[in-house]
Amino acid sequence: MKISKRLQNLPDQFFSSLVEKVGKKVAAGHDVINLGQGNPDQPTPKHIVAALKAASEKPNNHKYSLFRGKHELKQAAADFYAREYNVTVDPATEVAILFGTKTGLVELPMCIMDPGDVMLLPDPGYPDYLSGTVLGEVQFETMPLIAENQFLPDFTKIPAEVAEKAELMYLNYPNNPTGAIATADFFEETVAFAKENNITVAHDFAYGGIGFDGKKPISFLQTPGAKDIGIELYTLSKTYNMAGWRVGFALGNKEVIEAINLIQDHMYVSLFPGIQDAAIEALSGDQTCVSELNARYESRRNAFITACEKIGWRAVAPAGSFFAWMPVPEDFTSSEFADFLLEEVSVAVADGSGFGEFGEGYVRVGLLMDEARLEEAVERVAKLHLFDKVPQG
């Protein structure tokens, strides 16, 4: 028996090799500080868990859920966007409930593209974007994200023939893996570029709840004209520590939302209603947990970056997300440096080249443990004396 060419062509799961390497190191008795993961370390807030418990006891929630999900959850998503971003969306036609935003991002090329069509992907970027290109049998061109441009794509560098062919563009701010945030001016440029070239924009807003230095990450949908050409995908995984619950939503252009709903009609029907009820509580209930979590990540960022600066390991401090994008020392590739840290001092980081060609020269660090443990990781790196020759001050 064979498997389909689509599945044969899927990229290797980038993080699986890291998990395997870390597992072997731990099994050998080493105390590994795993900074390579992207899994929130805090529990889901108690009031959200309580909402699920209550919802799970309701007999109506034990039946097949409604196609396209509960109107109440779509309304909660619309109310959330009105409250947090002053954005108005129609819950009936401009909101699609997702089984986590990864699902939406992987299925979107199949929804609005035909085999052979071209899409634009950020580089470095979330590795699972590539899964959607394979399953949708579409081509892609990359948009380099470099430090000199604040890790934003430069649309003037995209060849005219590529822009003309492109049907879909993915963006992601706050950015995984770089920790950069988008500006209002950049999103205005994005809308103008997309309209000029008839490109649909999908903004992956997974880290929208995590911004530092008093700056709240902005929604793409706050940009005039954004709904004309695009959508935004929002997950509850990071904002509310609900990664394992697999719940999110897409909002924006009604034609794109209808396409997502249509494919999900045939593939999923909808989420367990109890999870939808808990998601409503997350979006509509007490938001103290969100501000507390943001403060926690900012404290961790500050502790980690300060410790790195003391040993000469300098980087641009992330403005959002829970990742730091750290340069590798001279004479190392990203892969070599990641392996070296794990082997020599039992510190695991994610190899930057796994996020794309322009991730080479960096490693991604997850700020997903307490300050003391992050500082201990830096102390271990310091013992390798890799940054001793970096000029101070």
Residue 243 three-state SS: helix
Q: Span 63-284: which CATH code?
A: 3.40.640.10
Question: How do residues 79-130 score in pLDDT, each as one tens digit?
Answer: 999 999 999 999 999 999 999 999 999 999 999 999 999 999 999 999 999 9
> Do 300 and 371 form a contact (C-beta atoms < 8 A)?
yes
Kindly report the average pLDDT of the chain as a whole number. Answer: 94
pLDDT band at 391, cuts 50/70/90? Answer: low
Of 282, 374, 349, 346, residue with least CA distance to 28: 346
- C-alpha span between 329 and 382 (Å, rounded): 12
Q: Which of 230, 222, 170, 155 is nearest to 198 (CA)?
A: 230
Taking the CB of residue 385, how many other CB atoms lie within 10 A of it? 10
pLDDT score, position 353:
94
Helix intervals (H) in 198-248? 226-229, 236-239
Q: In this structure, is the dihedral angle defined by the CA atoms of residues 308, 309, 311 and 315, taken in order, positive or negative? A: positive
How far is Cα 172 from Cα 180, in angstroms, rounded to an integer?
A: 9
Two tokens, residue 233: 């995908």
Please write the tens of the pLDDT for every residue from 233-292: 999 999 999 999 999 999 999 999 999 999 999 988 889 999 999 999 999 999 999 999
Those residues whose C-beta lies under 8 Å from the C-beta of residue 362, and which sit 6 or more positions away, are 124, 177, 325, 326, 327, 328, 334, 352
Rounded distance, CA 176 to CA 123, Å?
10
Which pLDDT score is estimated for 338? 95
DSSP state of 354: G
CB 237, CB 368: distance < 8 Å: no
pLDDT of residue 160: 95
Helix axes 371-382, 334-345, angle to 10 degrees: 100
Share of the chain above pLDDT 70, in %: 99
Give the total residue count for the chain: 393
Other beta carbons less than 10 A from residue 177's beta carbon = 30
| 154 pLDDT above the threshold of 60 | yes
The ranges assigned to domains in the chain are 5-44+288-382, 63-284
* pLDDT tens figures, 286-308: 999 999 999 999 999 999 999 99
| Helix ranges restricted to H, the chain | 5-8, 14-27, 46-56, 71-85, 101-112, 129-135, 160-165, 184-197, 226-229, 236-239, 254-267, 273-284, 288-310, 334-345, 371-382
pLDDT tens for 156-196 read 999 999 999 999 999 999 999 999 999 999 999 999 999 99
What number does CATH give the domain 5-44+288-382? 3.90.1150.10
Q: Which residues are CB-contacts of 233 (< 8 A; sequence separation ≥ 6)? A: 98, 101, 104, 105, 202, 203, 204, 205, 206, 248, 249, 250
This prediction has a pTM of: 0.95
